[in-house]
Amino acid sequence: MCESSRKGKLVVVPEMLSYATTNMMGQVLLSRCVFVTKGLESNEFKDMVVELMTITRYFNIGDFIPSIAWMDLQGIERGMKKLHKSLDVLITKMIKEHMASTHECKGKLDFLDVVMTANPEISDSEKLTITNIKALLLFKPERFLSEKYAKIDPRGNDFELIPFGAGRRICDGSRVGIVFGEYILGTLVHSFDWKLPNGVDGLNMDEAFSLTLRMSVPLSALVHPRLAPNAYVSSAF
């Protein structure tokens, strides 16, 4: 974003958020950025996530007429299997790269290091397989609270809204999900001045039907840094 602001380029906000949140999770899970630069690999991952959300919202006639579900008339099951293979290749690549560099962790264990110690393919202790590890890495709920639900506790105590589940099925990542959302929003507001592109008078707030409420036309904006240049450089990345 800082580089785009210097060049006066538009920032496509959903693309930027996908890139940033994926790298934040990469630091927690793998002790590294998933994508070093925005490019082909990061765009492919974003496209996979968008495709997943798109496919899962389809009206599947096989769910309502089970006798014809085996035909997969709409190609939904076929598309999901194809997408699963692509995601599996990416996650497997990340795990193998991490396994190859485990000796460089210098005593600082990340999430993947912890779950790998329980993997019988890596140690003799217990139970987790590579498939289990992938499931733990992929479980990342993203939830946002509107003003209507601002006073409701999303951690399962108020049953008007339970985005993270409740009771024994509550999401272990609920707290970190909320913290990430607040951290990113605060950073963007504090670090940059925002304005619409030249010639644009208002936002197109039309909605696209999906698993999440998103804009049909992705938000683009011009940003200008508010802080000193060295504030935008982090040694963690």
pLDDT tens per residue, range 3-15 = 777 777 888 888 7
Q: How far apart are CA 228 and CA 226, in angstroms?
A: 7
pLDDT digit string, tens, across residues 69-79: 899 988 888 98
SS3 11: strand
Of 34 and 237, the one with more pLDDT: 34
The type of residue at 221 is A
Distance separating alpha carbons of residues 90 and 3, to the nearest angstrom? 27
Q: Which residues pair with 97 in a beta bridge?
A: none
What's residue 237's pLDDT?
Answer: 41
Rounded alpha-carbon distances, angstroms, from residue 86 to 10, 17, 123:
30, 22, 28
Q: Six-digit token pair at 168?
A: 């024994």
pLDDT average, residue stretch 6-35: 77
Looking at per-residue pLDDT, the higher value among 232 and 224 belongs to 224
CA distance 144 to 29: 22
Query: What confidence tier does 236 reach under pLDDT thresholds 50, 70, 90?
Result: very low
Evaluate if residue 143 carries a pLDDT over 50.
no
How confident is the model at residue 141, as a pLDDT? 42
Residue 147 has pLDDT above 80, yes or no: no
Residue at 73: amino acid letter = L
Q: How far apart are CA 91 and CA 137, in angstroms?
A: 8
Spatial separation of the C-alpha atoms in residues 237 and 183, rounded to whole Å: 17
The pLDDT confidence band at residue 170, using thresholds 50, 70 and 90, is low
What is residue 142's predicted lDDT score, i.e. its pLDDT? 40
Q: How far is CA 223 from the centre of its chain?
A: 23
Both tokens of residue 221? Answer: 């904006």
Residue 194, CA atoms < 13 Å, CB-side half-sphere: 13
pLDDT band at 88 (very low <50, low <70, confident <90, very high): confident
Tokens at 40, concatenated: 């082909």
Distance CA 87, CA 93 (A): 10
* 8 Å CB contact between 173 and 141: yes
CB atoms within 10 A of CB 97: 11
Position 23 scores a pLDDT of 79
